[in-house]
Chain A
């Protein structure tokens, strides 16, 4: 099961790429429109890239009126990534969403200020206001991410999205000043993969929620490793920037990886990295059905 990482694809400018996924995850929607951070907002770093986009988006009202109806016409299940600066922000957006497959709560954007409430308080507030599947997107920059996973599970999350980017900085080779206008940004790409594997590994032992694993996936082999660590699905991020055809390629490579190991289904690879059997988790089908 293949998705995109939020903020790494615009299904309206690249519908063919979006249709090659099992579900399309939107860029994070906040209550009010946001222009995002001042340029420069993208920089390459060793084995990864930094972004400081800063949640640029048209805001909830325009998203619901203009963007979402056009996304629904694509024929691919839609996950809406929801952001905000308080638990109320998140919950109000959740309440207004309907006819989508799932909501991903962006609880971990490294480029904007955090809400004062904890991740589990935000999940609990949203849980009261929507019946849609809620996925909590957590930051890998926590000392004990499994503890955060237990907390959001107890608060009513239906799944986890692991991981968001982690803060990084790159300097201009001549001037030694930060490449990004905001100086610090979110690190993604291959450098994030071991961090993502560790987060998925830890959280899959801590909770029985389905996990969408992401971070530095470039190949079917990378996807297989996230599944082995306990992910039930895999999302593509930075690789999409270099290769809009990555979804079909990674899917084919993953199928070949599974076949080479005599595994019949993707589910058979889930948790193979663990010495003991993992808790049985709910299949993810509930979150990719087209609810049009």
Chain B
């Protein structure tokens, strides 16, 4: 874990989302599925974002402007400065034989980086609308599903599933694919185990998602 003030390289629209690209500075990219805490201008608490892409010299985050913090992050422009802490938490295990990425909505955020690390495996991505599905262009070999159809309807056996998306989707995926790696989400203040805000009950056990997750095994 390292904290650094970095500059925004670009903030690019991707459908309703924003791809926020910042200078990497001395920060490491970490493992796909790990996350960073991004200072949101004018807000007290930073916001957790998984790494979307790690091109040379940059870190890029795909952000959905759903609240005051994420809206402030999406409003950043080239040259603006922000503090970034990370990489944090546990990412996906990459020692899988036949990977399939399963994502929903903004849950596709860690997949571009993950896809590269796994050699561009097939991906099954669900979105609310075709506009939201523009984010699928960031993920190689993606098959897109639009509501009212769900990704789980097209889930086939024989794959090592790595999933990220809304909680109902993760629950449905783990019912169909025991052993899947699931990236969970919870509001958190710190991202490094200090606040206990992100504790969630999974299989009868309370876990701090930031230090024991965000990626957990389904079984």
Contact = CB atoms under 8 A, between A and B. Distances in A.
Interface of A: 7-10, 12-14, 27, 35-36, 39-44, 47-49, 51, 53, 56, 173, 189-190, 238, 240-245
A204 to B, nearest CB: 28
Contacts of B39: 242
A44 B43 contact: yes
A44 B69 contact: yes
Contacts of A243: 3, 83, 85
Contact of B199 (A14, A44, A56): A56
B52 interface: no
Contacts of B192: 13-14, 244
A9 B83 CA distance: 19
Nearest to B198: A42
Interface residues of B, number: 30
Given A35-B206, A36-B199, A244-B1, A14 B189 contact: no
Given A13-B193, A241-B190, A41 B199 contact: yes
A145 B15 CA distance: 54
Contact of B197 (A27, A53, A190, A240): A53
B167 to A, nearest CB: 11
A49 B44 contact: yes
Contact of A190 (B44, B68, B187): B44
Contact of A51 (B67, B189, B201): B189
B197 A44 contact: no
Interface in B189-219: 189-190, 192-201, 206, 211
B44 A189 contact: yes
Contacts of B85: 243-244
Given A8-B195, A44-B69, A242-B83, 8 more contacts: A7-B196, A8-B194, A10-B194, A36-B196, A42-B45, A42-B188, A43-B187, A47-B44
A245 B83 CA distance: 11
Contacts of B193: 10, 12-14
B44 A41 contact: no
B25 to A, nearest CB: 14
30 contacts: A7-B196, A8-B194, A14-B1, A14-B194, A35-B201, A39-B186, A39-B187, A40-B186, A40-B187, A41-B198, A41-B199, A42-B187, A42-B189, A42-B198, A44-B69, A48-B44, A51-B197, A53-B195, A53-B196, A53-B199, A56-B196, A56-B199, A56-B206, A173-B68, A189-B44, A240-B194, A241-B189, A242-B190, A243-B3, A244-B194
A176 B17 CA distance: 25
B46 interface: yes
B131 to A, nearest CB: 20
Contact of A27 (B46, B186, B187, B196): B196
